[in-house]
Structure 1
Amino acid sequence: MKKLHLLAFLFLSYSSLGQGLPGLGAGTIGTNKPILHGKNWVAITGKPLAATAGAQIFQQGGNAVDAACAMIAATSTMWDVLSWGGETQALIYHPGEKKVIAINALGYAPTGATVDFYKSQGMAYPPEYGPLAATTPGTPGGIMTMLAEYGSLSLEQVLKPAMDLAKGYPIEAQTANAIEGQKARIKEWPYSKKIFLTHLGEKREAPEAGEIFVQEDLYQTLAKLVVTEQEALKAGKSRKEAIYAAYDRFYKGDIAKEIVRGTREQGGLFTESDLATWKVKIEEPLHVNYKGIDVYKLQEWTQGPALLQSLNILENFDLKAMGYNSANYIHTVYQAMSLAFADRDFYYGDPAFVKSPMKGLLSKEYAKERAKLIGSMNDPKIGAGDPYPFQGETNPHADLLKKNQLALASADPRELPSEVDEKFLSEFQSGTTSVQTADAEGWLVSVTPSGGWVPAVIAGNTGVGLSQRMQSFVLDESLNPYNLPEPGKRPRVTLTPSLALKDGKPLLAFSVQGGDSQDQNLLQFFLNVVEFDMNVQEAVEAANFNSYQMQSSFGAHEIKPGGITLRQDTPDWVRSELLKRGYSMDFWTKTSGPITAIWLDWKHGTLWGGASNYGDDYGIAW
């Protein structure tokens, strides 16, 4: 298969500079983007206009949660690889309570969405696109819950930037061209065709870059939420009660009815009860301590714990002595990720239905046993381990686990697919966006919202694009008995915000776009800061590598054991050594993410922000 080779656009490479020399940070190495410095606040996200929305909220006196909500709303309106019917997941550091809070605003499988149903449609997995790919909308509830519980401004104030965008904004080339490229599929859904194809019947039917793109239906939906809030306030309701009144209108009122009607008209499964009974969950996050730093991720309905498992495994090695992006470092981190992601693929799922063995998976003892499996060569046969003994229990799926292990052991490594073609890469790195905010009061927020990307099914006359997250379920229990679709169940997703604390104080907020590659890039970003003393801008731009030795969460859920993507300026001696160790390599000009991050400088009382040079990510600080 044709490998992906991009034209070279070389810039200063960490991998060609003293391998792991101390003092790589401290701003001594040039970066493509300047680091952001702020005293009062920082707002970083996937699009410049959305970062401006956050800045507007901060300037009105809002806190980091208010700003994050406005930025999620803006990116959803701009179709920054998500829309209003998608999902929102967040980690919030609460300075008053001095704790990290997890927000689970992922939609769930609708009534009738079962293994048998999808198999009856001749499907090996739930579909990538269309109404049968949709979980219930989560982002509106996520925004309103975060705002009601932890924000300070009104829903009207926070939604105003998004409403201005819905009235018309100059659409960017990336989104406009995505619409044009997907127009054949968009034409299958009447409400999507009405909104996206502004030049129907012409040679180019999508908007042009820079054209004012208007979404009147979405504007009216958002306006209904604001009107409901205003009416509740006039009736004597509190700020929080008024926001939740708007929440109820979306999920139980006329908006919900139109979402259900429009979705079912196009072949979807939603019922009014599905929307009315769905709730945002405020949860306890998971965390591990890595060399004195507490790293927080969402629960196992995301892939986030795989980063925590990787850190536990890597604690057993002297990474700094290996040197940044040396062959030995790359090999060790790659193998640790393979071990952690093999567990992700088999054990992670919605804990409200089947509780995964997270105590065992995140134990330091289990990590030591997994670390012993890392040898000098790439192992394309790495599979899930058995963490249940490490939490004093017996594995209820021991037979399935053994069957998988035997199948891997008998596989011919020469027959395992490792080459990465463009289609696989597109599915593996299916995008999202990221949102990071911080303020002088001590609020720190990391969000990875997603779902409802182009081409999205629009739910009737609401302007709300539906999620495509059902595709992250599997239909074969031998792949993952914890992640089979059932009505009311959330799929295991790739979306994975991150926070880190040191000595009980917030240190880092970081997240990234990019499907299954997210926790790989975030792991390397974190190690760049902690092990190699890079500042946040250096760390987000630094050369990462990507593994495909885990099941894709999208499309046909492929796996490419031994496949690795490296930055194009990787030295010949590193390439040669990795080839000897059994890796199948391809190369990109940029491999940094795109990561966004905020670091808290407690010595000077300032905020540092970084946004990688990979895509359109942009930040503003004051």
Structure 2
Amino acid sequence: MEGRMAEGETYAQRPALRGTRHMVAAGHYGAAHAAFAILEAGGNAVDAAVAGGMALGVLQPDIVNVAGVAPIMLRMADGVVHTIAGLGYWPAATDPGLFVREYDGHIPESILRTVVPAAPDAWITALGRFGTMTFGEVAAAAIRFADEGFPMYPLLADMIAARKAKYARWSSSAEIYLAGGQPPKVGEMFVQKDLARTLRYMVDEEAAAGGDRLAGLKAARDAFYCGDIARTIVDFHRQEGGWLSAKDLADFHSPIERAPSVRFGGTDVYTCGAWCQGPVLGQALNILDPSALKAAGHNSADYLHTIAEALKLAFADREAFYGDPRHVAVPLDGLLDANYGVARRALIDPSRASAEMPAHGTPQDGPRREMRGGGLRREGVPAGPPRDTSYISVVDRWGNTVSATPSDVSCDSPVVPGTGLCPSSRGSQSWAVEGHPSQVAPGKRPRLTPSPAMAVAPGRYVLPFGTPGGDVQAQAMLQVLLNIQLFDMDPQDAVEHPRMATYSFPDSFEPHDYFPGRLCLESRIDREVGEELERRGHRVAWWPERIWRAGAVCTIQADLKTGIKTAGADPRRASYAVGW
């Protein structure tokens, strides 16, 4: 019984993978192997992560796009943790009022939700600042998977079939995802020739540049943001009524920043900034009391109730304060202050669930915001799949660590003909609601769900971790981290244990659905625990045993004393780890 986990009990179907040289854990086995090949060829963790991350855009094109987003965290051997946002902004020509006038305050599935594609710049920025290899070297696997194809696997086949009507709206998308008019079948080769040509053009421009490695990387970037690829994208957007311009593309650069962090049980937990939902993880950790949680017992009613209520409080603050810091004043220091977290903890009623999303707090230097609307109230169980994201983590033999969450879907805006690219539709995570901190505005970034993290226990271990799953990301990551921190699980066991997720806040994706009190539990959790949670006011819905909706966390625990690296790759999706 999960609510009464015995000492040493394990739920892992796979053994924990251990090694001493280098390790990769990624959302698809092909991407893990692509990254591992780079490590074996002498590349560092950054080179490997870029190779694997780009491969994910080919191997998981339903949830990652080569022209999508790519938030990246890096901890090099000097111990400093940096982030590369990898998130584009709304084009300068964006008309926010259009969504109110013509779409009843919503951002429709169309070319209008396109923001500047950021992933190519983010990967090349990481290579230039922290890597050692050329773009051509790290793009080789992605080009091969696109040009030669790869065998269709069940989850991708299911997702394309489920979205058949969406892909069919645009002929350029249907040509790739519905070849012959039908979704691909498991075991069939899935080929993306146009995408291969796009990537090969970037490689060719790099080779033609001559000069040193950095000059070549700039040429590869310019091929996308200033050259033929940019012109093709802009011409298509102009033809289809989109807002993206040549200047939007040419002027884009991903910022490199120091990562914010909180301390939990002697471990520093780093996330990306408030341009994404990353700080939700830090806020939830500050709200939770580790000793009380451990005493409650793993996945007991007290344990899950406390975690769910802490997450609701953190998500309430996300809704009130998070947004592009260049456009809104985000009181991030106040939100991540440990004393603020303790004050929020006092709001949790141990015997009763909050029926709604709680009121947001009043962090130091935080503006008081009256949230207007913010989501649609609906009954029933959230039906739509999390529409984004994969993940890759890498630790190399020199102590460098990368945690990255590339993303973006291919079914809610059209593929640009001849490129194989579906430029980032992440505008789906903005709001047309007046006064919302993530309200649409020209030059502003949406509030992103993809949010890699990294935990550093000084002198003990480094732990990059992350997952797909939309709003479930921070929730799944929190539970896996607690499994490791409080219950000494190895990474593989930690990612396989059953999880819960609350939906008691507006969804980050359009149409921002809201399910007050909804708490989903994987069915390996004790039924008596679920019944007790219902008595406390949670609206419990049961998931199957291991469902991909609960996230698919990958992580690597690199022991700083022994040098042993232990990986966990979640079998809820096609995740795998490779290393030795």
Q: TM-score, normalised by structure 2?
A: 0.94
Cα deviation 1:550-586 (Å, max 9, x = unaligned): 2101132112121111121322331232121011111
Once the two structures are overlaid, the 10-residue window that deviates more, 71-80 or 447-456, is 447-456
Query: In structure 2, what residue type is equivalent to 1:111?
Result: A
Cα deviation 1:469-503 (Å, max 9, x = unaligned): 1111111135x2x2111111110011110101122
1:93 maps to which of 66, 75, 90 = 75
1:440 maps to which of 397, 401, 418 = 397
* Offset at residue 63 of structure 1 (A): 1.0
What is the aligned partner in structure 2 of residue 385 from structure 1?
360
What is the aligned partner in structure 2 of residue 9 from structure 1?
none
Alignment of 1:163-562 (within 5 A): 163-169=143-149, 170-200=151-181, 205-233=182-210, 237-315=211-289, 318-375=292-349, 376-388=351-363, 390=364, 393=365, 395-398=366-369, 400=370, 419-423=380-384, 426=385, 429-454=386-411, 456-478=413-435, 480=436, 482-503=437-458, 506-562=461-517
Alignment of 1:64-83 (within 5 A): 64-78=45-59, 79=61, 81-83=63-65
Q: State the distance in 2 between where 1:440 and 1:114 align.
A: 49
1:122 maps to which of 88, 91, 103 = 103
- CA gap of 1:577–1:178, structure 2 versus 1, over 3 A, is closer
Seq. identity, % = 33
| 1:65 and 1:151 in contact (8 A); partners too | yes
1:112 maps to which of 86, 89, 93 = 93
Q: State the distance in 2 between where 1:555 and 1:48 align.
A: 31
Q: State the distance in 1 between where 2:22 and 2:361 align.
A: 44
2:113 maps to which of 114, 120, 133 = 133
Q: State the distance in 2 between where 1:608 and 1:331 align.
A: 30
5+ long unaligned stretches in structure 2: none
* Offset at residue 418 of structure 1 (A): 5.8
- CA gap of 1:80–1:37, structure 2 versus 1, over 3 A, is farther
* Offset at residue 126 of structure 1 (A): 1.3
What is the aligned partner in structure 2 of residue 17 from structure 1?
5
Q: State the distance in 2 between where 1:535 and 1:506 align.
A: 12
* Offset at residue 125 of structure 1 (A): 2.2
Cα deviation 1:38-94 (Å, max 9, x = unaligned): 211111211111111112211211111111101111110121511112100011111
What is the aligned partner in structure 2 of residue 6 from structure 1?
none
Q: State the distance in 1 between where 2:163 and 2:521 align.
A: 29
* Offset at residue 466 of structure 1 (A): 2.2
Per the alignment, in what secondary structure is the counterpart of residue 514 of structure 2? coil
Q: State the distance in 1 between where 2:475 and 2:225 align.
A: 35
- CA gap of 1:293–1:548, structure 2 versus 1, over 3 A, is same
| 2:355 and 2:538 in contact (8 A); partners too | no
Per the alignment, in what secondary structure is the counterpart of residue 37 of structure 2? helix
2:34 maps to which of 15, 30, 53 = 53
What is the aligned partner in structure 2 of residue 411 from structure 1?
none
- CA gap of 1:83–1:72, structure 2 versus 1, over 3 A, is same
- CA gap of 1:330–1:182, structure 2 versus 1, over 3 A, is closer
Query: In structure 2, what residue type is equivalent to 1:547?
Result: T
* Offset at residue 224 of structure 1 (A): 1.3
Larger Rg belongs to: 1
* Offset at residue 613 of structure 1 (A): 2.0
Cα deviation 1:99-152 (Å, max 9, x = unaligned): 00101111111133232121122242212x321121111111111111111111
| 2:276 and 2:447 in contact (8 A); partners too | yes
* Offset at residue 355 of structure 1 (A): 2.3
Query: In structure 1, what residue type is equivalent to 2:200?
Result: A
| 1:316 and 1:371 in contact (8 A); partners too | no
Query: In structure 1, what residue type is equivalent to 2:230?
Result: A
* Offset at residue 416 of structure 1 (A): 7.0
What is the aligned partner in structure 2 of residue 581 from structure 1?
536
Cα deviation 1:235-287 (Å, max 9, x = unaligned): xx221221012111210112101111123323321111111111111111110
| 2:467 and 2:477 in contact (8 A); partners too | yes
Query: In structure 2, what residue type is equivalent to 1:520?
Result: Q
Per the alignment, in what secondary structure is the counterpart of residue 180 of structure 2? coil
What is the aligned partner in structure 2 of residue 590 from structure 1?
546
Residues 1:149 and 2:129 aligned together: yes
Q: TM-score, normalised by structure 1?
A: 0.88
5+ long unaligned stretches in structure 1: 1-12, 409-414
* Offset at residue 455 of structure 1 (A): 5.2
| 1:88 and 1:447 in contact (8 A); partners too | yes
Q: State the distance in 2 between where 1:496 and 1:600 align.
A: 20
* Offset at residue 468 of structure 1 (A): 2.0
Query: In structure 1, what residue type is equivalent to 2:511?
Result: A
| 1:125 and 1:473 in contact (8 A); partners too | no
Cα-Cα RMSD:
2.2
| 1:444 and 1:506 in contact (8 A); partners too | no
- CA gap of 1:245–1:301, structure 2 versus 1, over 3 A, is same
What is the aligned partner in structure 2 of residue 84 from structure 1?
66
Q: State the distance in 2 between where 1:378 and 1:186 align.
A: 40
What is the aligned partner in structure 2 of residue 8 from structure 1?
none
1:611 maps to which of 562, 565, 569 = 569
Q: State the distance in 2 between where 1:381 and 1:186 align.
A: 36
Q: State the distance in 1 between where 2:216 and 2:326 align.
A: 29
* Offset at residue 437 of structure 1 (A): 0.7
Q: State the distance in 2 between where 1:269 and 1:615 align.
A: 35
Cα deviation 1:404-450 (Å, max 9, x = unaligned): 8xx99xxxxxx975631424xx2xx2231110111110011111110
